[in-house]
Structure 1
Amino acid sequence: MLYGAMKLSVGGGLKLAFRPWVEGKEHVPATGPAILASNHLSFSDSFFLPAVLDRKVTFIAKAEYFNSPGLKGRLTAAFFKGVGQLPVDRSGGRGAGEAAVRSGIAVLERGELFGIYPEGTRSPDGRLYRGKPGGLARVALATGAPVIPVAMIDTEKIQPPGKVMPKLMRPGIRIGEPLDFSRYQGMEGDRFILRSVTDEVMYAIMKLSGQEYVDIYATAAKRQIAEAAKAGKAEKTARAGKPGRKDTGTDGR
């Protein structure tokens, strides 16, 4: 009931304000379990995708969104629950990954749609990064559910980092044909199979999105960007603190 109300208010508002376009909606089954594997460009991805679909989509969300204190925290928790988000503590390393896998399996066993971002985090620069095999592939092989590749288009341009007010523009959602990995069912313990399944999904997403593919994890790319920014800042500070050369009025000899 809460989800339905949220979908009408939030989803309806998003569609009215941003008018997102969608291609391939017919690839999402009307009933039964399926995994929606999407690229991840913006915080808003988890809202735009459910807004254009007729069925509920459950995503994994950081537990902090559900545990914050005070009135604001309670309202935030109610909002995320209402739009179909599942809280998972992602600070616990391997244990957090296991919790996410169990949550995904439970959603699919109920015959519902499970949304996941194989990159594990938002792209830092709009490019598509290597998919992490621990979540998507394990859930797919444990349940036999089809994997539907999804490409979010231009959502990162709506509210770039540092911008408070969103830009009113039309994002896009391109949904591909379901991928069947039933031939590997029961082989979720084989890391080579997990890698193969993940790479096949990422290739399908790349074809849909048109993004440049980078064969490293997005988390590693974010570290590199942060380290480069830190080094640049340190160099700038060092240059600012270095005394300038005095003009002696001679040729320097």
Structure 2
Amino acid sequence: MIYWLMKNVLIGPLVKAIFRPWVVGRDNVPATGGAIMASNHLSFADSIFLPLMIDRRMSFLAKSDYFTGKGIKGWATRMFMSGTGQLPIDRSGGKASEASLNTGLQVLGRGDLLGIYPEGTRSPDGKLYRGRTGIARMALEAKVPVVPVVMVDTDTAMPIGQRIPNVMRVGVVIGEPLDFSRFAGMENDRYILRSVTDEIMIALQRLGAQYYDDVYASSVKDRMPAPGSRRRGRRR
């Protein structure tokens, strides 16, 4: 009920009126049944705009930090995240990763759409980076198609670190579903998982024409200087 109100009454109409988002390929979204919406990840706003442009209910796996805040701000954040279809997951790895997989499988098992960012984190510079194989394992275990999605200009509308978005048009391009049924029963083969993941990333690159760098986005972020480090270096 909260999700419906947020999407169709409270948040949805307001966001659409202000940003006038456009969408191409909406008909490529399966009308029924579970499916993974595999998107590039440029901005926090991706998780807001994409569900708004799809007629069906859609959920994203979001880091649990968004659901643990205290006070009025924490409550408001929890309500917003829940109302926009976000599901809390622990990204610390190990057993937490397995729990995240199971959460995603539950969404797909009940026939809903699940949004996943194969890169695992937001792109730090607008490039498309190597995909994590969790998406492949989930697709094979759930036996669902993967729909490639490209977000356009959301990084300009809401850059990393910016809390108030810039008012401008953003877009969503939805490609044709990818069928991986030929790999049924092979979800534990790491070579197959890498092959499936790479096929998804190739589809995303072709759909959005982003520059592709075959390294993990997280490793690129780790090599970046901490905010303010260059400025401190100039004082020496």
TM-score class normalised by the smaller sequence: over 0.9
Alignment correspondent of 2:107: 107
Give the conservation status (yes or no) of the 8 Å contact 1:11–1:50: no
Matching residue's letter, 2:189: D
Residues 228, 43 of structure 1: alpha-carbon distance in 2 compared, 3 angstrom cutoff? closer
Alignment correspondent of 2:212: 213
Query: Structure 2: where are the runs of 5+ without partners?
Result: none
Give the conservation status (yes or no) of the 8 Å contact 1:143–1:185: no
Matching residue's letter, 1:106: Q
Give the conservation status (yes or no) of the 8 Å contact 1:18–1:170: yes
Alignment correspondent of 1:96: 96
Q: Deviations over 1:181-208 (max 9, x none)?
A: 0111221111100000000000000111
TM-score (norm 2): 0.95
Q: Which has the larger radius of gyration?
A: 1
**By how many angstroms is 1:162 displaced?**
4.7
Q: Distance in 1 between matches of 2:97 and 2:200?
A: 19
**By how many angstroms is 1:11 displaced?**
1.7
Matches within 5 A, 1:163-182: 163-182=162-181
SS in 1 for 2:225: helix
Q: Distance in 1 between matches of 2:199 and 2:23?
A: 23
Alignment correspondent of 1:62: 63
TM-score (norm 1): 0.89
- For the pair 1:81 / 2:79, whether they are aligned, the reply is no
Residues 55, 168 of structure 1: alpha-carbon distance in 2 compared, 3 angstrom cutoff? same
Q: Distance in 1 between matches of 2:57 and 2:178?
A: 20
- Count of matched residue positions in the alignment of Structure 1 and Structure 2: 235
Q: Deviations over 1:120-148 (max 9, x none)?
A: 00000000000011x20010010110000
Calculate percent identity across the aligned residue pairs.
53
Q: Deviations over 1:189-229 (max 9, x none)?
A: 11100000000000000111111001100000101123697
Matching residue's letter, 1:121: T
Q: Distance in 2 between matches of 1:37 and 1:113?
A: 10
**By how many angstroms is 1:69 displaced?**
1.4
Matching residue's letter, 2:120: G
